[in-house]
Structure 1
Amino acid sequence: MEESTVKRFLPWVVATALFMEQLDATIVNTAVPAMAESLQVTPLSLKAVAASYVLSLAVGIPVSGWIADRFGTRRVFAVAIAVFTIASALCGLSQSAGQMVVARILQGAGAALMMPVGRLTIVRTFEKSELMTAMNFVIIPALIGPLLGPTVGGLIVHWLSWREIFFVNVPIGIVAQWLIHRHMPNYREDARRPFDWRGLLLFGSGTALLSWLLEIFGEHQIELVTGAVLFIVAIALLLAYWRHALRAPYPLLDLALFKKRTFEVSVTGGFVTRLGVGGLPFLTPLLLQVGLGLPAWKSGLLMMPTAAAAMGMKMASRPILARFGYRAVLIVNTVMIGVTTCLYALVTEQTPLAAVVAIGFALGFFNSLQFTSMNSMAYADVEPQESSMAATIASSFQQISMSFGLAIGSLVAAWFLGGASQSNPHAVINALHGAYLSLGLLTIVSSLSFWRLHATDGASLSRASPELA
């Protein structure tokens, strides 16, 4: 397998798999009412379908690095795609809510390996001067999938049935398998390190419990005391893992990587930034559909410019980072994301749709630059032998932070709504305006996380190199 061919097609291999995962993560929510009617259960009871998927991700991602090192990246990635595709078909064939939950757990297990193993393969294949271009290909599905999901899901349910939503993954999975076996390298470690079962028990149970609490937030009536106790238990488990990891010779997640400033700032700074932006995919459809009264298909179309801007940023990110450096870009761009988020607080029934499109376009542009910068910065000073651990840690923190961001967005919007009816467009708009301002200000404050970077950090990533596509 020629190196030039691998470098040309590998980003598309990983991007295809991640697009399938990200599209599925949002497309399912559209079909919940139809699924509930077909399976003869209440829509609320199907929240377990989403929760089971998130739990499987939370437990599976931390072990992905060890599995890839042990069995090889190509083999693991191919198995992950196969599991995800087969589980998707099983979801479409499910005849009960219980069967659906089991299928979604299996699907989450496949997804848990896809993102970190794909990212690991990219990092090991490309030189640091080439990594930026490769990362641009990989990050686009994560931005486009949540935008296309609700629209595509709504159209499929309207024209066909909810079952076809899951069968969409089957042809994509087949194409991904063909690409994997032709163009994906098989990296593995010769030295086998023992598996940290105790670490998995502590970190896996802690993140699973925390993810479950965040996933059911706002959807189930859970007593405040019970929720608080479970939250404390989850934090205690994670703190116990932190203590364990500092002493274990081969920890599940090696926290020593946080001694590298660029890695630590990228992961922790990205965590804080995603707290502000993680709720936007949830809030914006509410603003457009409930607040402004637009139909779902029109709401989806209005969000398309965000995806277009994200794709356009692929060509602009390297020159911007090469000219201004990671430190300046991340500080200023984070502030711009916050300011753009606050602009949604000006949107009312009288706002021209062109203005809404412009805000969405700007947000897509800044978000794309932000995620590309943060995700690539994490590997600026990571050695090749540390790449699998770095990819696993980065993926774990990203999963948790997005869950936190969604929960915070829901909490803030609910707080501003108060006792008002959710069917009152005026009350919904006012509540969402308050939420946008709060999340925007939180994002602006998160820019302080990147002040600890040095002006030369990431220079090896952004200097000129041949384009990969």
Structure 2
Amino acid sequence: MSGAAERHRDHRGIALIVASALFMQNLDSAVLATALPSMARDLNEDPARLGAAITSYLVALTVFIPFSAWIADRFGAKRVFMMAIATFVVASVLCGRSQGLGELVLFRIFQGMGGAMMVPVGRLLLLRGVAKKDMLSAMAWLTMPALLGPVTGPPLGGVLTDLFSWRAVFWINVPIGIIGLGLVAWKIPHVEPTKPGPPDLVGLALTGSALALVMFGLETVGRHVVPGWMSWLGLLAGLATGALAVRHCRSVKRPALDLSLFSIATFRDPAVAGSMFRTGAGAVPFLIPVMLQIGFGMSAAQSGFVSFATALGAFAMKPLVRPLLKRTGFRATLVANGVIAALGVAALALVGPGWPSFAIFVLLALGGLARSLQFTALNTLAFADVPHERMSAATALYGTVQQLTPALGVVLATATLEVSQQLSGRADLLPVDFSRGFLVAGLVVLLSVPLHMRLARDAGAEVSGHQG
């Protein structure tokens, strides 16, 4: 067997094994969204406040991801990857034993620490050894199995919640994590540690503090969870700390976040314009199950079997991504499909209690097709022109940006619901509130399109194979 064929085989195997970790993380997020209404009833909390169970995890991911690059270099990527999976599993067990929202948020933060090391380090294991021409194929192999999490998550979360309780949605991670650990230990080759030098502790502290403060402010403002002045103080302090973090990272030799990567156009666009898209799209997985259960009166299981259509559409799109990008290129795909994806999100505002489940299913599946294409194109383009020696820094920075935006999406969704309630002078959520939520989310997705138009026509051509 030739060396090239051997490398291709290795990349495919590693991608599938790393995808087991992505599967576990995506499954966890999908089943949790379905179980939120049941959790709210059991813990005597408002469903909108239970968004903290999602955002706390996503914020922890964002805060700790910058540290992942240094830890992977210092202790070896394989060893760190296994440690991260084990941490995620232990935290999942603790989440399932939570007795209140405070405990749940604390253990979700612990779970986020494991996820922060798990996903970017796993991606690093793959990307460090893949040739540019094989990157799109490698990313497809990486993401396709991971999509099984969202596909199976909503119905599985609904069934587990209805048959047992919401706690079971966390315990399902235990067998998956054990299998993943075994596969990593068996199949992924050892990666020798390097000497990256001392970590940028000041940069890590400033970056983590800024992200945590901003998310605290966004999550609590207008919710009457803490005094209003405290929320606004958190936002202002977070923005000020963020400015200090940017200034620091630009002035040191080995920063916590290598902001010079933004000088690469094909990295900057997925990071900046992609953030707009991911924020709007990130509101959808939160809004759908809450709308179906709270707004339309479906059970958790019914909601799960309808809402998994989004991920099913996404899974169906994956085999089509490579030929589409080869035919049209990254720029044309991101612009045209960005408009389609925005319309798909906004169209959900038309859904009402009288709609048959099959019609909702079809609309969600069509929207999943467009969003899947956009996600894959963005995630591949981001690393198209990054030199191999900077891949570790790139996965850390892009991972930080990538994980922050779903949290902003949940905040966008919950804030829109609350504002809609307040404007109508009611305490209960009605279908019209969700319609407004989808319209706002669709608008945010659409705002990413003008930014994509600034890309060169041949952006990422070495990866896509587009000859236009």
**Common fold by TM > 0.5:** yes
Closer, same or farther: CA 260–167 of 1 in aligned 2, 3 Å: same
* Pairing partner for 1:278 from 279, 282, 297: 282
* 1:45-444 matched pairs, under 5 angstroms: 52-93=56-97, 103-140=107-144, 145-146=149-150, 148-187=152-191, 190-216=194-220, 220-417=224-421, 418-421=423-426, 423=428, 428-444=430-446
Structure 1 residue 156: Cα displacement: 1.7
The letter of the residue matching 1:136 is: A
Closer, same or farther: CA 313–338 of 1 in aligned 2, 3 Å: same
Cα deviation digits, residues 88-113 of structure 1 (max 9, x gap): 23444567877655543432211110
**Aligned residues: CA RMSD:** 2.8
In 2, the alpha carbon distance for the partners of 1:158 and 1:276 equals: 30
In 2, the alpha carbon distance for the partners of 1:136 and 1:340 equals: 23
Structure 1 residue 188: Cα displacement: 5.1
The SS at the match of 2:256 is coil
| Partners of 1:51 and 1:212 within 8 A in 2 | no
In 2, the alpha carbon distance for the partners of 1:95 and 1:33 equals: 16
Cα deviation digits, residues 220-278 of structure 1 (max 9, x gap): 53333321111010011111010001111110111111111110111101111122211
Closer, same or farther: CA 345–32 of 1 in aligned 2, 3 Å: closer
The SS at the match of 1:452 is coil
Closer, same or farther: CA 94–286 of 1 in aligned 2, 3 Å: closer
Closer, same or farther: CA 415–239 of 1 in aligned 2, 3 Å: same
Range that drifts further, 151-160 or 22-31? 22-31
User: What residue in structure 1 maps to residue 10 of structure 2?
Assistant: 6
TM-score (norm 1): 0.89
Q: How many residues align?
A: 459
In 1, the alpha carbon distance for the partners of 2:305 and 2:100 equals: 33
The letter of the residue matching 1:65 is: A
In 2, the alpha carbon distance for the partners of 1:130 and 1:174 equals: 30
* Structure 1 alignment gaps of length 5 or more: 465-469
Cα deviation digits, residues 321-377 of structure 1 (max 9, x gap): 000000000001110011111211222344344432222111111111011000010
Range that drifts further, 186-195 or 363-372? 186-195
TM-score (norm 2): 0.89
Structure 1 residue 167: Cα displacement: 2.2
Cα deviation digits, residues 271-327 of structure 1 (max 9, x gap): 111222111112222333333333332222122322222111111000000000000
Structure 1 residue 67: Cα displacement: 0.8
Closer, same or farther: CA 81–414 of 1 in aligned 2, 3 Å: same
* Pairing partner for 1:449 from 448, 451, 455: 451
Closer, same or farther: CA 358–283 of 1 in aligned 2, 3 Å: same
Cα deviation digits, residues 80-134 of structure 1 (max 9, x gap): 1112122323444567877655543432211110111111122112212211122
Is 1:458 matched up with 2:463?
Answer: no
In 2, the alpha carbon distance for the partners of 1:304 and 1:239 equals: 40
In 2, the alpha carbon distance for the partners of 1:398 and 1:330 equals: 17
| Partners of 1:306 and 1:363 within 8 A in 2 | yes
The letter of the residue matching 1:360 is: L
Structure 1 residue 46: Cα displacement: 7.7
Structure 1 residue 412: Cα displacement: 2.3
In 2, the alpha carbon distance for the partners of 1:299 and 1:346 equals: 17
- Identity of paired residues, percent? 37
Closer, same or farther: CA 183–301 of 1 in aligned 2, 3 Å: same
In 2, the alpha carbon distance for the partners of 1:86 and 1:440 equals: 37
Structure 1 residue 152: Cα displacement: 2.4
